[in-house]
Amino acid sequence: MQRFDAAGADLVPGQRVRVHVTHQHPWGVSVTIIGHEDIGASIDGAAIDSPSGKSRAGLEEYPAVGSEIDAVVQQIRRWHPPAWVRLTIRARDLDSFQWPCDFCDKPTILSPGGDGVVMDVRSAEGPGSHAIVAHRECLRDRLNERSYERARVDSVGRS
C-alpha cells in the first residue's frame, strides 16, 4: 500500500518555512516549500496582509512570482492525494500563529513556545490522515488519569 500521507510528515501547523512563489491567481499564490518540493502548497489572498489596509490583499499586493519569502504552515491536508499545505504570510501569524482548538474552539498558539499541540490521526486500513489541533491542557484532560500519555503531552516538543 502506498501512503501518500507520509509526504511532508515533518511539517506541522505553526511551523515557519521558506517558500518560492511560482504563480499568482485571483484567489492567492501557488508556492513551493523549499526542502519539500514534492508537496503542493498555496497561500490564499485572505492569508496575505494588505498594505493598503483592505481586509483582503488584492492581486497587485501579492508577492511577486520568483520571490522567496517566509511563511507559516496553516493546515496540511492529507485526506487524499496529493498532500497539500495551506500557508499564511500575515505579519501576526509570522509572529505568533494561532488556530482554534478542536476540543474547546478557543485559539491555541502553535508557534514555538505556545500552548498548542498537533496530532496526526491515521489508520492502518489505508492512506489518508488528519491533523487535530489542541491546547496541551485540553488534550491532557481528555486522557485517562492512569495513562502515562498525560505526562508525555506536556513534554512533547520541549527540551
More confident residue, 80 or 27: 27
End-to-end CA distance of the chain: 36
Question: Average pLDDT of 83-112?
Answer: 96
Give DSSP secondary structure letters for 47-79.
GS--TT--SS--GGGSPPTT-EEEEEEEEEEBS
Domain of 77, in residue numbers? 12-95
pLDDT tens figures, 115-143: 999 998 888 887 788 889 999 999 999 98
Tell me the longest C-alpha to C-alpha distance in the chain.
56
Same domain, 41 and 72: yes
The domain tally of the chain equals 2
Around Cβ 76, how many Cβ atoms within 10 Å? 24
In terms of domains, do 86 and 103 share one?
A: no
Residue 40 belongs to a domain with what CATH number? 2.40.50.140
In a domain, 6, yes or no: no
SS3 136: helix
pTM, to two decimals: 0.88
